[in-house]
Each structure stands twice: as structure tokens, then as C-alpha cells.
């Protein structure tokens, strides 16, 4: 399970002499895909490697939009890339970004999907918290020794549009839209060509799962956010493209929900199929 750590704990870990971790900078901007790599080059937490959302943590986009804006990467190719960064199956991985933890969470979800069994940590507050605490930055790009990562894909963690379509309206399944409420209700849509949500989905904005320091709220608070869900219900989370739903995935896991799945293509995939229904407004 993923753990969120404070900037002070991050400093302790990085200064503690542990050699078997990889620190991953996951900064990214959806409206400027080159921005994250540019700020990494200008300065990052010393020792961090850069992981690019579209180049490393996503597969190629399809012309018809199927798979969404950030399709899942090929597991074998992702495993090779992880290995080139020094990440093996049991390596401790610490990730950060500057967008509330969503891009770091995408990396962590992919690691879980591939069967990574090492410790997975996200630095709360990201690079901004590191700087605010007086942490140093570096422009030096590390050259980690490549290791072997053997993927063991956890098939049940990711679902597609057909799977979601079959579960709409089932009493033992809850579909959760992780986007901001106006996008969920279909009032605005700044990114994708259609506005609205998957029929029957409820809305739980992913950022509401965090406190002001960027730490994941405790299980008690998550249970309040997801009140009404049974612990053994099937829960499917989605967002715009399978990135910002991952914090809700981990929030649900932290609260004890055991049957949580990610609709990997999410809304951008859903609307690529002409026959898929689109709902607007609030669900009862």
C-alpha cells in the first residue's frame, strides 16, 4: 500500500544512508507537457530521476481516442523503463510532484499494477514543500545502475469501458468520478470534447482526500468521504484520463476498501465510443 510522508520524514529517509531507494520527480503540466522536465532540469531534489507522464507512464495515444488521453503503457516496456531508473521489484520508491500528488500517485498505481512489492512512498507537498522547508535543489542528473524489473500484472486493478458499461446501475458496484464537481455535472469541460459523467457515477473530488499539508487524510475521514459504501462492494474510480483518480484509489484502500479498480481510460476513453451514454447533473 502507498504511504504519504511529510517533508521532514522525507529528509530523514534521504539522509539516513539507505541506498536501496529511488527518488522520482513526477512533475508535469497537462497544458504544457514539456514544463515538468524543464523545471526538473532547472532544479530538483538531489538524486531524483525524472519520470515523464506521457513518455514513461502512458502508452501511445490512439487516433480514435480509445484508451483515453493517457493510455496504460505496455507492461513490458514500462518494466524496462523502470529498470533503467534503478527500480527493481523490491526497490523502495519515493515520488513527488508539484500538483498535489496526482502524478506521483499515477507512478505508484502503475507500480502496484505491475506487482511491485517494495515500499512505495509519496512526499506530501511535493517540491514546493521541500523548498519551503529549506531543502536544497540540484540540476545534476543522476545515472542510476540499471536493474531487472519483472512485471507481474495485477489484472483485476484496471478495467475498460466495456467492463464499466456492464456494471452501470448494479447495487453492489459504485462508480466514482474523481474530477471537480462542475466537470462531473457537465457544466464545463476544459479538456475533453464532451461534458458530463458516466451514468450512475457519484462525485468525490480527489483533492478532498488530502489535508492542507498534502497528507492523505486518515481512514476515519476517508470513510466519511465515502459514506454509504460497503467494505466489500466493487468500487470503480475514474477521472479525465486515469491520473487524478489514482489518489482516490489509494484513499479508498487506506480506508479498508478491498475491491477497488481503476477505469484506466476514464472519461476521455468513455466518450471515444459513440454508443456510450453521457449523464449530466447530480446523481441521486
Nearest-angstrom CA–CA distance, 210 and 27: 18
Output the CA torsion sign for 166, 169, 173, 179.
positive
Question: Burial of 259 by CB count in 10 Å (0-12 exposed, 13-18 middle, 19+ buried)?
Answer: middle
The one catalytic residue in 239, 252, 260, 264 is 239
Is residue 239 annotated as a catalytic residue, yes or no?
yes
**Taking a C-beta distance cutoff of 8 angstroms, is the pair 120, 91 a contact?**
no
Q: How many CA atoms lie within 13 A of 155 on its CB side?
A: 1
- Give Cβ neighbours of residue 43 (< 8 Å, ≥ 6 apart): 137, 138, 139
Give the residues across from 44 on adjacent strands: 138
* Residues with active-site annotation: 239
Amino acid at each position: 500500500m502507498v504511504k504519504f510522508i511529510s517533508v521532514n520524514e522525507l529528509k530523514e529517509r534521504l539522509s539516513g544512508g539507505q541506498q536501496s531507494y529511488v527518488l522520482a520527480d513526477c512533475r508535469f503540466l497537462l497544458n504544457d507537457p514539456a514544463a515538468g522536465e524543464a523545471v526538473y532540469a532547472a532544479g530538483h531534489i538531489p538524486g531524483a530521476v525524472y519520470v515523464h507522464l506521457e513518455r514513461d507512464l502512458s502508452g501511445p495515444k490512439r487516433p480514435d481516442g480509445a484508451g483515453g488521453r493517457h493510455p496504460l503503457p505496455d507492461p513490458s516496456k514500462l518494466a524496462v523503463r523502470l529498470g533503467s531508473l534503478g527500480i527493481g521489484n523490491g526497490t523502495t520508491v519515493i515520488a513527488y510532484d508539484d500538483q498535489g500528488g496526482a502524478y506521483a500517485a499515477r507512478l505508484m498505481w502503475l507500480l502496484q499494477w505491475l506487482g511491485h512489492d517494495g515500499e512505495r512512498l509519496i512526499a506530501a507537498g511535493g517540491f514546493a514543500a521541500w523548498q519551503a522547508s529549506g531543502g536544497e535543489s540540484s540540476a545534476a542528473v543522476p545515472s542510476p545502475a540499471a536493474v531487472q524489473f519483472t512485471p507481474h500484472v495485477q489484472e483485476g486493478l484496471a478495467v475498460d469501458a466495456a467492463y464499466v458499461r456492464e456494471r452501470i446501475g448494479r447495487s453492489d458496484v459504485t462508480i466514482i468520478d474523481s474530477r471537480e464537481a462542475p466537470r462531473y455535472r457537465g457544466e464545463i469541460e476544459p479538456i475533453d470534447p464532451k461534458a458530463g459523467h458516466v451514468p450512475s457515477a457519484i462525485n468525490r473530488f480527489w483533492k478532498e482526500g488530502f489535508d492542507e499539508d498534502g497528507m492523505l487524510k486518515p481512514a476515519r475521514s476517508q470513510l466519511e468521504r465515502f459514506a454509504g459504501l460497503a467494505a466489500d462492494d466493487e468500487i470503480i474510480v475514474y477521472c479525465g484520463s486515469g491520473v487524478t483518480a489514482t489518489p482516490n484509489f489509494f484513499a479508498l484502500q487506506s480506508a479498508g476498501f478491498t475491491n477497488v479498480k481503476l477505469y484506466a481510460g476514464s472519461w476521455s476513453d468513455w466518450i471515444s465510443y459513440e454508443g456510450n451514454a453521457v449523464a449530466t447533473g447530480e446523481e441521486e
